Structure 1
Amino acid sequence: MNYLKTEAEVDRFIQQHALSFIYISKENCSVCESLYPQIMEVLQDYEKINTAKIVVDELPSIASKFEILTAPVLLLFIEGKEYLRHARIVPIDLFRDKINELYHLYYE
């Protein structure tokens, strides 16, 4: 897991990887903390998805860049374009199904 601390790092991460996933959290957020391990467990089955984490308190400008109003926010980019966004309460089965669908569409 990469920890991104600047907008330049975020932009570079998204552009350097065909599939990039960013988990955006907030400090002292119980939902962020409890959801994170579940999301990482799903993503471990998709080795070609590069993952990163941003703590919005450390990079407040990211909220306006990605139009974020709550936390956590899960973003999947394919070749630099946003293809998936989930925020706050994320049903794990729905998330798994969408990741699986997009991953196999891209790699087949």
Structure 2
Amino acid sequence: MTLEEVQNIIREEVGVLLYFSGERCSVCHALRPKFKELFDAEFPLIKQIYLDAHENPEISAHYQVFSVPTMLVFLDGREFVREGRAVSMYKLTEQLMRPYQMMTE
């Protein structure tokens, strides 16, 4: 996936989750299925994109991702949430629920 493709998706979709991980990152591998489960259940209209930060250095640099895991959520084309390492699924759900509902109703 190219930077241009990612930017187009962010412009076109209601919401986008960009999840940056690394092959050797055990935390990344532990969190990814939890994010997938949460977004599939609570935010199904948010497109999920998983990227290896080391294999996509141009995209990582553009979004200023310097450590993994890093999760960015874009709503209506703008960065809305940025979290790294320890992410509370409860807090994330609280942050996203109201704006998501407003955008999708």
Q: Same fold (TM over 0.5)?
A: yes
Structure 2 CA distance, aligned partners of 1:92 and 1:19? 17
Describe the superposition over 1:41-73 as per-residue Cα deviations: whole angstroms up to 9, x where unpaired: 110122211111111111112222111121111
1:107 deviation in Å?
A: 2.9
2:13 aligned partner? 17
Aligned length: 104
What pairs with 1:1-108 in structure 2 (closer than 5 Å)? 5-45=1-41, 46-108=43-105
Deviation at 1:25, TM superposition (A): 0.9
Stretches of structure 2 that go unaligned for 5 or more consecutive residues are none
More helix by share: 2
- Supply the distance in 1 between the matched residues of 2:24 and 2:96 (Cα, whole angstroms): 27
TM-score for the superposition, normalised by structure 1: 0.86
**1:62 is matched by which residue type in structure 2?**
I
What is the identity percentage for the equivalent residue pairs of Structure 1 and Structure 2?
A: 27
Q: CA RMSD in A?
A: 1.4
TM-score (normalizing by structure 2): 0.89
What are structure 1's unaligned runs of at least 5 residues?
Answer: none
1:44 partner amino acid: D
2:14 and 2:103 in contact (8 A); partners too:
no
Letter in 1 for 2:59: I
Deviation at 1:88, TM superposition (A): 1.2
Indicate if the aligned counterparts of 2:15 and 2:75 stay in contact, CA closer than 8 A.
yes
